[in-house]
A and B are shown apart, each in its own frame.
Chain A
Amino acid sequence: MPEVPGPRPEPRAGNISQVRIDTSSPEQTEALGRRLGQLLQAGDIVALSGDLGAGKTVLARGIAEGAGAAGYIASPTFTFIRAYRGAVTVYHVDLYRLDRPQQLEDLGLDELLDGTGLVVLEWAEKAGPLLPAEHLWITIRFRNGDDTRTLEFLPRGPRYTDVVQTVARECASSR
């Protein structure tokens, strides 16, 4: 599949806003997502990146649950977009099956992104220029163990920096 160019996290020297958090099971990843979801609100955008099987859907489910979404949360790979109604409407979007940038337009992604819901985007690197400048980018990487992962948070914008700092502080104090 041709790679669609998109924003990528650029680790900069002295970038104090970038945070890494390790998890050792899908349950932990989901719990981290739930806490994140509690801190997020309508209009926010979370961009998820990571290889197949990294745990993007697991994290997305946590975020949606934490944000108070009702309904059945599962992978949107085939239908592209799932909407969960609740205290906040969560749009769970998966761009895995997209292979050309113009398909994004047909999907109506731009409408979701400037809308009133919380958008969680899997395979966010395929969103390209449609991804607004302010967003929370999370890359999930495999570590050595079967179930161990590193989540790399790259907040773009002060609001997301605050959210990430809060989560990082809580994780640090619980260890």
Chain B
Amino acid sequence: MRILGIETSCDETAASVVRDGRVIESSVVASQADLHRRFGGVVPELASRKHIERLLPVIDEALEKAGVTLRDLDALSVTCGPGLVGALAVGVAAAKSLALSLDLPLVGVNHLEGHIYAAFLTEPDLAFPALALVVSGAHTDLVAVSDHAQYRTLGRTRDDAAGEAFDKVARAMGLGYPGGPEIDRLARTGDPRTVPLPAPMPFRRRSGRIDDSLEFSFSGIKTAALRALHAAARADGQFKADLAAGFQRVVVDVLVDKSMRAAQSLGVKTVMLVGGVAANTWLRAEMQRACAAAGCRLVVPPPSLCSDNAAMIAAAAFYRLRRGGGSDLGLGASSDLSLEQTPNNSLA
């Protein structure tokens, strides 16, 4: 079964052709910088207008790279939430039009579910039950995945997402955008013990009492890092490297601690680390170490499948269709769609 996936929930316009939920025949992602280069210096507008301009060329390119035409497709899939409604609506309208004109099944996919299925593109025989940490610029969600399309959100961020905190701290330090990779790089030459920062909602409190909350909060650590930066007598290169290392370490520690605590309480042996921040090398290494110690198998997609892409959407759709799910042409975009809700998806 060959599925076209479409993703327009935030900044990226993406299309991909995936066969049987595991073979990526093409995956095209147009970001703002990319578009600037490829389409002749046109400065794209934000969100919907930008997606409208890009989507059809991106779909054409995905089909061409896969060496197929629209007639070779068996289904259409699209991110229907959560995200910016105006942006999501562009992808949803395109997918619905194609499904109607080609008379093919349509599957609306939750963006977070898409990130989780990036792990299935990496490891198709991934065993249930599993735990997923979805960590990106917009999300920090711990999710129990008991079976295909069976989700329970265990904890989310109360304020900033982990990736958002990385970007804001990086921007304040004068590093490039996106800030996550910059902090990752800079932290390698820093000493994490030089600039003391408070742990963000650690599950083991200073009093020794265990905080069993699986919620996250990264706003406080962001503010503490910014204050340390502004208070520094000399914010030179080494100071910034130390701050980057210290900041990264406390964020990664709490992500790993809470993931392992959740895995242990659920008794799961498979952990998926997905979303844009899963590309962070320190997070990957620490999660790998913790999983190995706990006897868990860690599945982390390659960086190209961690950041927003459409292959993950087509993969999620494959498993929904295989179980008799799908959406009708009444599918709409929803800004605050939770994993537990699946609009217009009749799961058999």
- Interchain nearest-CB distance for A22 vs B (Å): 17
- Interchain nearest-CB distance for B178 vs A (Å): 11
Query: Interface-forming stretch among B113-121, B152-160, B184-192, B233-241?
Result: B152-160
- In the assembled complex, the Cα of A4 lies from the Cα of B48 at a distance in Å of 21
Tell me whether A130 is interfacial, beta carbon within 8 Å. no
Tell me whether A83 is interfacial, beta carbon within 8 Å. yes
Contact partners of B46 in chain A: CB under 8 A: 98, 103, 106-107
Contact residues of B between 243 and 301, Cβ < 8 Å to A: none
Tell me whether A141 is interfacial, beta carbon within 8 Å. no
Q: Mark B143-164, 1 if CB is under 8 A from A, else 0.
A: 0000000000000111111011
Determine if B45 and A74 form an interchain contact, defined as CB atoms under 8 angstroms apart. no
Determine if B223 and A81 form an interchain contact, defined as CB atoms under 8 angstroms apart. no
- In the assembled complex, the Cα of A81 lies from the Cα of B5 at a distance in Å of 24
Q: Mark A74-110, 1 if CB is under 8 A from B, else 0.
A: 1101111111100000000000101000110011100
- In the assembled complex, the Cα of A103 lies from the Cα of B87 at a distance in Å of 13
Contact of B222 among A53, A58, A71, A81 (CB under 8 A): A53
Contact partners of A57 in chain B: CB under 8 A: 159-160, 219
Contact of B336 among A26, A61, A75, A82 (CB under 8 A): A82
Q: Beyond A75-B219, A83-B85, list 6 extra A-B contacts (CB 8 Å).
A: A52-B223, A72-B338, A75-B159, A98-B46, A103-B46, A107-B86
Instruction: Give A contacts to B, CB under 8 Å.
Output: 26, 51-53, 57-58, 61, 71-72, 74-75, 77-84, 96, 98, 102-103, 106-108, 146
Instruction: Give B contacts to A, CB under 8 Å.
Output: 9-10, 45-50, 82-86, 136-138, 156-161, 163-164, 168, 172, 219-220, 222-224, 226-227, 335-336, 338
A sample of 10 inter-chain contacts (CB < 8 A) reads: A52-B168, A52-B172, A52-B222, A53-B223, A79-B10, A79-B84, A80-B84, A96-B168, A107-B86, A146-B224
